[in-house]
Amino acid sequence: MIPRLEEIEKKVWEEEKLFLMKQVGILLIKNNAVKFGDYILTSGKRSPYYIDLRQTISSPITMDWIANSLTRIVVNEIGITRIDKILGVPTAGVPFATVVSQKLGIPLIYYRQARKEHGVRKKVEGILDRNDRVLIVDDLITTGESVIEAAEVVRDQGGVVNEMVVLLDREQGGEENLRQSRIEPHLLFKISDAMNWLHSVHLISDEIFKTVIRYLEEEKKGGVPSAPGG
């Protein structure tokens, strides 16, 4: 039986997405954006790895690959005609949102975590019209709190937020939190997928791989301790 066109397109996108994950993963390693050790996250929890996507803004080639990947997710999983504005989450998400906005030709906005106390005292910069369908762009998901905060700001000002695109999910409950806030996340890869691939091509050692996978399993059970004083 010949596969239906929809099935072929879905399979082609799955393979393209896997290719993009591998290419971006290699560039993240080359740009020292993936670090292994003992790190303290914003939440106060310890982590055996750290993803610093701010490193990539100094590499135009890496930025272009990341933006192309996010753009392809928009095209294949959401649809350009369903988006009126693109919003970058400060600060790390704004550079990626800016390039995606340019590639898609869709206007950019961003929000201020602290409202301006002069002029018009806006929390959203750029032009946001009532009922604009806003796509949120961010670098990675941890708990999803910053994205949810951005979505609420946009909704309070009359915009509509239902979806977001993101490069990486740290698998720390963020996807579930976002869905509970009526935001569907579309991501290039999960950290476990990236680690499995990096390990399979010998870009990380057995010891690092086992440590990270153990950490992810403990995190899912809520068993990762905070740092002293965290």
Say if residue 215's pLDDT is above 90. Answer: yes
φ, ψ at 25 (rounded to 5°):
-60, -45
- Residues 61-74 have pLDDT tens digits of 999 999 999 999 99
Percent of the chain with pLDDT over 90: 76
Grade residue 227 by pLDDT with cuts at 50, 70 and 90.
very low
- Residues 130-160 have pLDDT tens digits of 999 999 999 999 889 999 999 999 999 999 9
- Residues 89-103 have pLDDT tens digits of 988 899 999 999 999
What's the rounded Cα separation, in Å, for the pair 94 and 106? 14
- Residues 122-131 have pLDDT tens digits of 789 999 999 9
Using alpha carbons, list the distances in angstroms from residue 164 to 68, 94, 129, 136.
15, 13, 19, 4
Classify each residue of 185-222 as buried b or exposed e, where b means 16 or more C-beta atoms within 10 Å of its C-beta.
bebbbbbbbbbebbbeeeebeeebbebbbebbeebeee
Among 40-54, 185-199, 214-228, whose mean pLDDT is lowest?
Answer: 214-228
What's the rounded Cα separation, in Å, for the pair 194 and 30? 15
Burial class (CB in 10 A: 0-12, 13-18, 19+), 138: buried
One-letter amino acid of 217: E
- Residues 7-27 have pLDDT tens digits of 888 999 999 999 999 999 999
Domain 12-215 has CATH 1.20.1090.10: no
- Residues 186-212 have pLDDT tens digits of 999 999 999 999 999 999 999 999 999
Domain boundaries in the chain?
12-215
